[in-house]
Amino acid sequence: MVSRELIERAREFHGHVCPFLVLGLRASEIAMRELEVGKAGLAESVGENLLAIVEVNNCFADGVQVATGCTFGNNSLIYVDLGKNAVTLLRRGDRKGVRVYVDAELLSRKYFSEEVNDLFEKVVVRREGSEEDVRKLSMLWEELGFAMAEMPEEEFVIQEVEVVEELERAPIFESVRCSKCGELAMATRIMYVDDVPMCLACADKAVNAVIGRGISKLSMPLYKVLRSK
Ligand SMILES: [Zn+2]
Ligand SMILES: [Zn+2]
């Protein structure tokens, strides 16, 4: 069961309580228990000793970050763009891990009311909801989130997995100054035009970005600097 305290911590991070946020918490807790590890603390987050692999960039992924302590910023969260509600947890140096998958269709058919499914369709999918619909949905959504905290474990697919290839630690790269904008960028994100270093933004290169649809190419420049304060 996910504790109320953990859900509140997740709300602070995620902005709201919703079913997939709590499912991310719950799936992570199952994986942590199976792997006999706790939340990443000082040693784990500095040494990247605990790794969480998420396969989706939605609310579920925020639940994983809050519960496991493996985050985007501490390089212990690996995002694999498969579009599935699943998390795999493993200790670095040990290829055996635990993967927990959640089947959204099964859950919504079984636990989500018709009312909430219809509202979701109207407000989120078709973007046609009135203010009242939005309020109603967020209330029902939060209720459902709290209900997910007690989701029976049989509703999750729990797998023992072995990673085929060991995942490298985040390499430390030197920084190189772009000759055009004067900003520092990681050496691997610098290109040389006539031997002059340029950041990818100034070189107008398309770069990989995680956006709503997953990892995609974004063409540069992304923004124009209007003025520096
Ligand atoms: Zn959410
Ligand atoms: Zn530049």
Look up the CATH number of the domain holding residue 56: 3.30.1330.130
Query: What is the number of structural domains in the chain?
Result: 2
Tens digits of per-residue pLDDT, 37-95?
999 888 777 777 899 999 999 999 999 999 999 999 998 999 999 999 999 999 988 88
**Structural domain contains residue 43:** yes
Whole-number pLDDT of residue 225: 85
Cβ atoms of 111 and 87 within 8 Å: the answer is no
Regarding whether 182 and 133 lie in a shared domain, the answer is no
Percent of the chain with pLDDT over 90: 75
The answer as to whether 225 is a domain residue is no
**For a pLDDT cut of 70, what percent of the chain falls above it?**
100
Domain match, 39 and 110 both: yes
155 occurs within a structural domain:
yes
Looking at residue 46, what is its pLDDT?
A: 79
Last residue of a domain, one of 162, 188, 210: 162
Average pLDDT (197-217) is: 92
Quote the tokens at residue 72.
């985007």
Same domain, 23 and 90: yes
pLDDT on residue 202: 92
> Residue 220: nearest ligand to its CA?
2
Residue 35 CA to ligand 1 center (angstroms) comes to: 26
Residue 85's domain comprises 4-162
Answer yes or no: do 136 and 191 share one domain: no
- pLDDT for 53: 97
Output the CA 220–ligand 2 centroid distance in Å: 11
Task: State which residues have CB under 5 angstroms from ligand 1, the bound ion.
Answer: 18, 21, 59
Alpha helices in 69-130 (DSSP H): 104-111, 114-120
